[in-house]
Structure 1
């Protein structure tokens, strides 16, 4: 990990939750709320609020982190676009973190669990799913790939660990055949506060990207999204 604390802003609007965290001069300012369909109205005022609380300007920061999905198609675009705009304005690098990875990191940091199965309700009878395990850097890292699939199509090989996310709340029977997995209902949505370790590692190891290189991670393609009523 980076030995010198870095100054950064991180934000995520990919799901029903809207979350931001600002680390500046050793202080942390955090905001988390569930506010479906209000992200675009709230996110920039919240950025200003956190910067004001910290007596900080954007160009005082070293890097900006953003939730790159998966999640709501519109929400993911908001996360990426806001991060790009802020980074362009101050010529800052970016770090994208998966929403599923945030939940896995939160689970480890709060419970010590080292194997976490994350699922977000993807609508249309599907879930966004991924399995993460702890590495030697105390980071939860992806095993295999992130997927969108029907819960009854989930096949796990000798699984053991903890399950978190709205996917298991919506489909509580999806893990009935896996007795070595325990559902933790306290962690359901991603929180930007748990990007910190990944941003710190990425910045220290020069794994950042320019604003032009920042990419969303939809997992589900845009053609399928357009079939969803009320979604873009």
Structure 2
């Protein structure tokens, strides 16, 4: 099975290519240039492996939460390429992809939502699959959910910004911290594979995940924040 995976939900653009049992990936700090470089980079990435989109079995992408613009870019590119090649498209929740990337069984995924907020979800792995997300939502750092038990792994780019707040909130419940830029395209490909194998291609599996309707402060709100 050959699957192209992509993620543009952060300032990095990540591409992955599963070719049977092998996996290849690239990670580029794109900043605000995702829309300009993603298609040329995909074409080059496929060409480097002597492939075109017609050779793929499916395309998987990070459907959020994350950067509003980045999610829309990934969704649009995946749909466009998938439609052109007549292959299925599967979206994977980025919080779940982080949990899988951690390699742990009890995971709290946190993504910087900007505007002083955090995208949050907790997962427990049962066998080979994760539970339904717990407390999935967007929160202020001082309003994060209370979780039970200890032995949790905390993963995601929100740690860099809110490390102290999270340490104060969870205390000894956190056993491991995994922060910094984290590439999740291999996990996106892995989590999409069962849907592809079982031919489950419902539209809900490719819809973007925003978790909030408000994606930016108004001019008045920015002025008020700057005055604080």
- Structure 2 segments unaligned to the other structure (5+ residues): 220-228
Asked if 1:158 corresponds to 2:151, the answer is no
Mark the CA change 1:130 to 1:190 in structure 2 (over 3 Å): closer, same or farther: farther
| Aligned equivalents of 2:109, 2:69: Cα separation in 1 | 21
Partner Cα distance (1:100, 1:15) in 2: 12
Unaligned runs of 5+ in 1: 1-5
Q: Is 184-193 or 161-170 further displaced after alignment?
A: 184-193
CA deviation after TM superposition for structure 1 residue 26, in Å = 4.1
Counterpart in 2 of 1:3?
none
Q: Secondary structure at the match of 2:17?
A: strand
Alignment counterpart, residue 214 of structure 1, candidates 195, 206, 228: 206
Q: Deviations over 1:133-166 (max 9, x none)?
A: 2132x23444325200101111223143100112
Find 1:196's aligned residue among 170, 189, 194.
189
Q: CA deviation at 1:187?
A: 5.2
Q: Greater CA deviation, 86-95 or 31-40?
A: 31-40
- Cα offset for 1:183? 4.3
Judging changes above 3 Å, is the alpha-carbon distance between structure 1 residues 99 and 105 closer, same or farther for their aligned structure 2 residues? same
TM-score (norm. length: structure 2) = 0.86
Are the structure 2 counterparts of residues 169 and 213 from structure 1 closer, same or farther at C-alpha, using a change threshold of 3 Å? closer
| Distance (whole Å) between structure 1 residues aligned to residue 144 and residue 179 of structure 2 | 22
Say if 2:37 is the partner of 1:42.
Answer: yes
2:8 equivalent in structure 1 = 13
- The TM-score, its normalising length taken from structure 1, stands at 0.85
Instruction: State the match for 1:51 in structure 2.
Output: 46
Shift of 1:196: 2.4
Counterpart for residue 131 of structure 1: 122
Cα deviation for residue 216 of structure 1 reads 0.8
Partner of 2:225: none
Separation in structure 2 between the aligned mates of residue 101 and residue 84 of structure 1, nearest angstrom: 21
Question: Deviation of residue 190 (structure 1)?
Answer: 4.6
Following superposition, the deviation at residue 79 of structure 1 comes to: 0.6
Where 2:123 maps in the other structure, the secondary structure is strand
Secondary structure of 1:176's aligned partner: helix
- Give, in angstroms, the shift of residue 25 of structure 1: 4.6
User: Among 158, 168, 171, which residue is 1:167 paired with?
Assistant: 158
Give distance in 1, aligned partners of 2:193 and 2:56: 13
* Equivalent residues, number: 216
Q: What is the alpha-carbon distance in structure 2 between the residues aligned to residue 228 and residue 48 of structure 1? A: 37
Tell me the CA shift for residue 226 of structure 1: 3.9
Q: CA deviation at 1:171?
A: 0.9
Higher-helix-fraction structure: 2
CA–CA distance in structure 2, aligned partners of residues 50 and 31 of structure 1: 8
CA positional deviation for 1:38: 1.5
Q: Paired residue for 2:175?
A: 182
